């Protein structure tokens, strides 16, 4: 019922927005990706910086039933509408540019194990009718997206993604010292051998596994059966390593407090990023290694040619609940895997070896997932539309 009412709300607001006069200089970004590698937000920052002649608006969170009518007026006036998730526009003369928000590893849409046929058919019709341009990075990306969403091949243009621009053209001020001082109350002066890693897991709530959720609620952010925060913190300190943890927003709400009793582990939430007007990808290049499970972020992190560790204690559940687009999983991922904390600690101790032994595999997957002129996607998208 809630979904039906929201679709009705969107239909009514679309109708009202159509009465707005279209402005060729009005570009609107509908950002549903928060600050976790948001193509929409990063493209918005680029346009505000490089093209002040445009009337650019950022509307977030999207979609939302709490938007003021002034936001809907901007949507109705826009010539170009940029989306990070489902395509959207209010009239046929508008141009929808679909960024999406990652190279998929997990199944979704038609390919997923946990979706309904009626929803998938409605979704495919939406992409067919609404998306005018889908930015792409490779043939593989297009194959994966079309398998899930039924997107026609003529909609793709290999223009790349704004989030990759942020990785390849980092600002000097968002360096490792920024991470240490902002999130760990330390600095390179105190610990010149410091290595900063980041843990970015995917959305684990959809596993419908109460035990996993209970572990996370108790502060076991890795959901390991042998989790011991003090021992993990000690192991990190011994190797001069720091771990920044950014969970899915839903999982962050499960914690009663973010006051973690650990000197080398810190949590990062969306408020930290919004308060600093930052996207995660703007300081991601300053990290030394990535830890994830099944998040598509590892494909992007390949641009940095740094080690990736994969946490696989929920692998079997994900294969059954949702499934993967590429497999077998162990043959796909370009990095070592850990099912237990003891295994993770050992991998962190031998991080340099892990980086070297998987470098060729990382480069191979980078070639398969990115075939565009790297680092100039924002400019390429702007030039194409003009």
Residues of the chain with CATH 3.40.50.12580: 171-369
Tell me the pairing of strands 241-245 and 265-267. parallel
Burial class (CB in 10 A: 0-12, 13-18, 19+), 47: buried
Q: Give the model's pLDDT for residue 96.
A: 98
Q: Give the model's pLDDT for residue 206.
A: 64
CATH number for the domain running over 2-160+373-385: 3.40.50.11820
Contacts of 343 (CB under 8 A, 6+ apart): 337
Residues of the chain with CATH 3.40.50.11820: 2-160+373-385
Joined tokens for residue 307: 């080690």
Joined tokens for residue 165: 């621009």
43 and 164 Cβ atoms separated by less than 8 Å: no
CA distance 280 to 293: 18
CA atoms within 13 A on the CB side of 369: 24
Q: Give the model's pLDDT for residue 2.
A: 57
What is the residue whose two structure tokens read 């600093």? 276
Tell me the whole-structure pTM to 2 decimals.
Answer: 0.94
Joined tokens for residue 154: 């003529």
Spelled out in words, what is the top-level CATH class assigned to the domain 171-369?
Answer: alpha beta
Q: Give the model's pLDDT for residue 152.
A: 97
Rg (CA), the chain: 21
Contacts of 264 (CB under 8 A, 6+ apart): 184, 233, 236, 237, 241, 242, 243
Joined tokens for residue 330: 């162990």
Determine how many CB atoms are found less than 10 A away from the CB of residue 21: 7
> What is 91-157 written as a DSSP string?
STTSEEEE--SS---B--GGG-TT--HHHHHHHHHHHHHH-SEEE-S-HHHHHHHHHHH---GGGEE
CA distance 99 to 159: 10
Q: Give the model's pLDDT for residue 259.
A: 64
pLDDT tens series, the chain, 386 aa: 457 888 888 889 988 999 999 999 999 999 999 999 999 999 999 999 999 999 999 999 999 988 999 999 999 999 999 999 999 999 999 999 999 999 999 999 999 998 999 999 999 999 999 999 999 999 999 999 999 999 999 999 999 999 999 999 999 999 999 999 999 988 888 889 999 999 999 877 666 677 877 888 888 889 899 999 999 999 999 999 999 999 877 777 776 555 677 899 999 988 899 999 999 999 999 999 999 998 999 999 999 999 999 999 989 888 888 899 999 999 999 999 999 999 999 999 999 887 889 999 999 999 999 999 889 999 999 999 98
């Amino acid at each position: 019922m809630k979904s039906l009412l929201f679709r009705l709300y969107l239909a009514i607001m679309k109708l009202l927005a159509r009465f707005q006069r279209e402005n060729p200089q009005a570009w609107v970004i509908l950002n549903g990706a928060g600050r976790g590698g948001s193509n929409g937000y990063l493209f918005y920052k680029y346009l505000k910086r490089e093209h002040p002649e445009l009337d650019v608006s950022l509307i977030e969170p999207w979609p939302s039933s709490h938007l003021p009518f002034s936001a809907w007026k901007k949507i109705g006036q826009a010539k170009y509408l940029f989306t990070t998730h489902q395509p959207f526009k209010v009239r046929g003369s508008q141009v929808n540019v679909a960024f999406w928000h990652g190279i998929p590893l997990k199944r979704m849409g038609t390919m997923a194990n946990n979706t309904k046929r009626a929803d998938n058919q409605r979704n495919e019709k939406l992409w067919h009718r609404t998306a005018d341009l889908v930015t792409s990075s490779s043939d593989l990306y297009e194959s994966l997206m079309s398998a899930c969403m039924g997107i026609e091949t003529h909609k793709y243009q290999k223009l790349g993604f704004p989030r990759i621009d942020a990785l390849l053209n980092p600002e000097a001020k968002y360096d490792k010292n920024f991470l240490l001082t902002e999130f760990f109350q330390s600095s390179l002066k105190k610990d010149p051998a410091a290595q900063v890693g980041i843990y970015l897991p995917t959305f684990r709530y959809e596993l419908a596994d109460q035990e996993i959720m209970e572990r996370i609620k108790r502060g076991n952010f890795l959901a390991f059966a042998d989790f011991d925060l003090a021992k993990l913190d000690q192991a990190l300190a011994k190797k001069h390593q720091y771990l920044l943890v950014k969970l899915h927003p839903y999982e962050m709400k499960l914690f009663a407090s973010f006051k973690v009793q650990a000197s080398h582990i810190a949590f990062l939430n969306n408020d930290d990023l919004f308060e600093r007007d930052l996207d995660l990808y703007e300081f991601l290049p300053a990290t030394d290694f990535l830890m994830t499970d099944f998040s598509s972020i590892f494909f992007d992190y390949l641009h940095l040619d740094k080690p990736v560790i994969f946490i696989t204690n929920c692998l079997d559940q994900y294969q059954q609940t949702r499934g993967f687009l590429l497999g077998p999983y162990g043959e796909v991922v370009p990095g070592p895997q850990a099912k237990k904390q003891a295994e993770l600690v050992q991998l962190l101790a031998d991080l340099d070896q892990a980086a070297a032994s998987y470098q060729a595999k990382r480069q191979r997957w980078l070639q398969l997932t990115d075939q565009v002129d790297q680092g100039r996607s924002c400019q390429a998208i702007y030039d194409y539309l003009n």
